[in-house]
Amino acid sequence: MRWPPVAVTVAFTILVVVMVALFVIALDRAGERLGAAAEERRRWRRRGAALLGAWLAITGGLAGAGILQDFSRVPPPAALLLLTTLALTVVVASSRVGARLAFGLPIAGLVGFQSFRIAVELLLLALARAGTMPLRMTLEGWNFDVLTGLSAIPIAMLAARGRCPRWALWLWNLIGFGLLATIVGIAVLSMPLPFQRFSMPGDDPFVTRAPFVWLPTVLVAAALLGHLLLLRRLIARERTGD
């Protein structure tokens, strides 16, 4: 793997830390909107911060130890980690934590949150230009995920004013999920696996190294979680007619 400039690595790490902090803040704000007592909110904040900190440590540790770079094992540890991340994201979205976020946050917040993907795509472009990852996985290639981030801002503004129809929210969420699934699929097909279809710079994918392991395990997971939470909220609205 060709390492990018230090500034890009630092900026990437900062974005991950910001996203983790936003998740903890979101838990607190959702609890406040749902009428939770101060002590309960404090407990949720502590647990959320502890679990996320542990997740960062585990995934970062696996990458730092070189375990994820070993694609000779069957199944490869990197593939197992990706599957685990996706499964845990679905579990969180379906859990009490997911319910707290889905029903405690305004729809505008659930949508506007996805604007963080603009920063992600800009960082990916910087990584590609540094030779760390393929250009096809950026907004200058086959990755159009930035459209979700850009469109999240006006959609959230309309939702905040009560002017965004349900069908528009459904459509936006579906398209955003599709764009996310597309780039994840391209990334998987770029891994040194038996079904690899695209090349990747270097001997190992950059996402198997720290801190870039947090791209799939934190940033992609956050985007997926956002879509699942909005889906849960929209389904509930359809059932109640709200």
Per-residue pLDDT tens digits for 109-156? 999 999 999 999 999 999 999 999 999 999 999 999 999 999 999 999
Structural domain includes residue 110:
yes
What's the number of domains the chain is made of?
1
Structural domain includes residue 27:
yes
Residues 78-102 have pLDDT tens digits of 999 999 999 999 999 999 999 999 9
Structural domain includes residue 225:
yes
Structural domain includes residue 11:
yes
Range of the domain at 134: 6-240
Mean pLDDT check: name the lowest of 9-18, 64-73, 128-137, 188-197: 188-197
Report the mean per-residue pLDDT for the chain.
95
Residues 12-65 have pLDDT tens digits of 999 999 999 999 999 999 999 999 999 999 999 999 999 999 999 999 999 999
Structural domain includes residue 162:
yes
Give me the DSSP letters along the chain: -----HHHHHHHHHHHHHHHHHHHHHHHHHHHHTT--HHHHHHHHHHHHHHHHHHHHHHHHHHHTTGGG--SSSS-HHHHHHHHHHHHHHHHHHSHHHHHHHHHS-HHHHHHGGGHHHHHHHHHHHHHHTTSS-GGGSTTTT--THHHHHHHHHHHHHHHTT-S-HHHHHHHHHHHHHHHHHHHHHHHHTSSSTT--S--SSSS-GGGSTTTTHIIIIIIHHHHHHHHHHHHHHHHHHHHT-
Structural domain includes residue 173:
yes
Structural domain includes residue 1:
no
pLDDT band for 242, please (50, 70, 90 cuts): low
